[in-house]
Structure 1
Amino acid sequence: MKLLLINPNTSQSVSDLIEAEARRAAAPGTEVRVLTAPLGVAYIETRFEALIGAYAAATLAAEHWREHDAIVVAAFGDPGLAGLREALDIPVVGLTEAALMSACMLGQRFSIIAISARIQAWYRETVQANGLLDRLASIRSLDQPLRDIATVQEDHAERLQALCRSAVEDDGADVIIIAGAPLAGLARTIRQRIPVPVVDGVSSAVNHAQSLVSLAPVPARRGSFAPPPVKPNQGLSEALARLLAGSHRP
């Protein structure tokens, strides 16, 4: 099984965190490849940045999807996830969706721990889009400037754990979701210090992707995830134009 994880952020250091956690989570024999967005921002915080990240993810997916069995959009908020599901004939999984599904199988109400206050609105909308807003206990976040996106876990270790404990004690969370690729692997390192299950987006997405590949679903040809209709286009990369043309579909 070959999994492609696409980091829609431009930070190679974040891709390194994603890859390390993905390899820990992958089953024996599963091959993991991580690609970093060639354009965009260092880390996505806003809806507009997510829009750019979605285009970057679509570009990489169009170029490399044929070589893989499933794709993971490796940014919390899942930029471009639904569109990629329309266009591709392999499973596409997002960090947020995967973490939410894992959390819902571990408890009734979950809290999300994030790296910035600005990101909270977008995360809440993503939870709502997944139909799970009534199970969201809270979103808690760091409130200090980030010195380096690659060292958030080390720079704010105590604060991140305090946020997790507050979500449990003050907000009634049954499960904690550690949000965002820059925090990949943190759930594994702190899980013994938090009194409820702690969920990581990368490891959840890898495991859900492996399950979907094993289930061998038939690609949608009808319904809302049917492939986009063929129509004139311009200014797209060769790979994106080819994907839109649907030449891979029977």
Structure 2
Amino acid sequence: MSAKPRLLLINALRHAGGSYALRPTEGTREQMVMDYDNVASLLAEVEWDVHPGAPATHGDWGVETLEEFMIVGANRLPLVREGCESGRYDAIVLLGGGDPGFAEAREIGRRHGIPVTSCGHAQMHVASMVGHRFGIIDISEKHNVQMARLVVEYRFTERCTGIRNLDYPLPRPTRSDRPSIASEKAKALAGETCSMLEAAFTAAEAAIQEDGAEVLMLGCSAAYWMQPFLQRRLNEAGWDIPVLEGYRCAIEQAKLLARLGLDASGLMLPKDPPARSRRRRLV
């Protein structure tokens, strides 16, 4: 590894553009990273590139259904393989909430000895480092399904207090009458009253008082912009609780694993063929 870890950030997908896109589909690498200002200091410590993501084939909108997560995950696996085979990177970071394609991407990384990290997975691990139990603040009923699946898959069922739904789904043709996440974000950045942020604060207090959460994480990357605002609101209300978002956690986890020279256990993700096979695998 070079003096500075070399990271490749891969976006979940690339929209054709239009009203459903939440970030530019082309431009500088900084423009390709949503809410770049929140992670700029972390990326200053590494060498990095960003891929805009594979073209969206499920439809030109965000990802919420299980079918969409599977399609988007499969579409970006060739990008992971290409990044690993290039020999240019020490770690790969999968951007986007819901972790589409993470398990499979991690298997590809394992073949090349390259760690692959993702937003939900990294947040849950960081949350478990700083508190006994964490709650998830998420955007919609459909997205909640994917986040619940990840809690089970990553074996955090005893650590997760539950998922609080804000009911601010991603924009798509069937939701033209719903509040826009982009407009809510613009209000918050302008210092105006933001209904989505108010809903997040209410959900956060409920997660603390009713569910027993000691750490909070944001489920969807479209909501990661809320992290500094929600952290401030909770601190002002007297709550000494960390609020996590996925990009920062996934980037820091990638840097850590690269510096430790670790990717994934060969018994969890065996190579083909494995150096040695067990007679029994526990679940």
**TM-score, length-scaled by structure 2:** 0.72
Following TM superposition, by how much is the alpha carbon of 1:112 offset from its aligned partner in structure 2, in angstroms?
0.4
Query: Which whole-Å deviations, capped at 9, do the CAs of 1:22-75 have from their partners, x for residues lacking one?
Result: 324335244252423312442211211111111122122223332322111212
Whether the 8 Å CA contact 2:11–2:53 is kept in 1: the answer is yes
| Alignment-derived partner of residue 45 in structure 1 | 64
> In terms of mean alpha carbon deviation, does 201-210 or 86-95 score higher?
86-95
In the alignment, the residues of structure 2 paired with residue 8 and residue 218 of structure 1 have an alpha-carbon distance, to the nearest angstrom, of 21
1:13 Cα deviation after fit:
3.0
* Whole-angstrom distance in 1 between the partners of 2:251 and 2:213: 24
Q: Counterparts of 1:76-225 in structure 2 under 5 Å?
A: 76-88=97-109, 89=112, 90-144=114-168, 146-153=178-185, 154=188, 156-194=196-234, 195=239, 196-217=241-262, 222-225=266-269
Question: Structure 1 CA distance, aligned partners of 2:39 and 2:49?
Answer: 7
Structure 1 residue 16: Cα displacement: 3.8
For residue 58 of structure 1, give the secondary structure of its aligned residue in structure 2: helix
**Secondary structure, aligned partner of 2:137:** strand
Gap regions ≥5 residues in structure 1: 230-250
- Whether the 8 Å CA contact 1:115–1:180 is kept in 2: the answer is yes
Higher radius of gyration, 1 or 2 = 2
Cα gap change, 1:147 to 1:7, in 2 (>3 Å): farther
- C-alpha spacing 1:214/1:160, structure 2 compared with 1 (3 Å): same
Count of residue correspondences: 228
- Taking structure 1 as reference, are residues 79 and 228 closer, same or farther at Cα in structure 2, changes over 3 Å only? farther
C-alpha distance in 2 between matches for 1:209 and 1:79:
17
Q: CA offsets per residue over residues 163-197 of structure 1, 9 Å max, x none?
A: 11221122111010012111224213321222211
CA RMSD of aligned residues (A): 2.4
Contact persistence 1:21–1:184 (CA under 8 A): no
User: Quick one: percent identity of the two aligned structures?
Assistant: 27
In the alignment, does 2:75 pair up with 1:56?
Answer: yes
- SS of the residue corresponding to residue 72 of structure 1 reads strand
- What is the alpha-carbon distance in structure 2 between the residues aligned to residue 197 and residue 37 of structure 1? 33
Contact 2:14 2:52 in 1 (8 A): no
Gaps of 5+ in 2: 16-20, 24-31, 170-177, 189-193, 274-283
Q: Decide whether the 8 Å contact of 2:13 with 2:76 is kept in 1.
A: no
2:39 aligns to what SS in structure 1? helix
- Aligned match of 1:13: 22
Change (3 A) 1:201 1:111: same
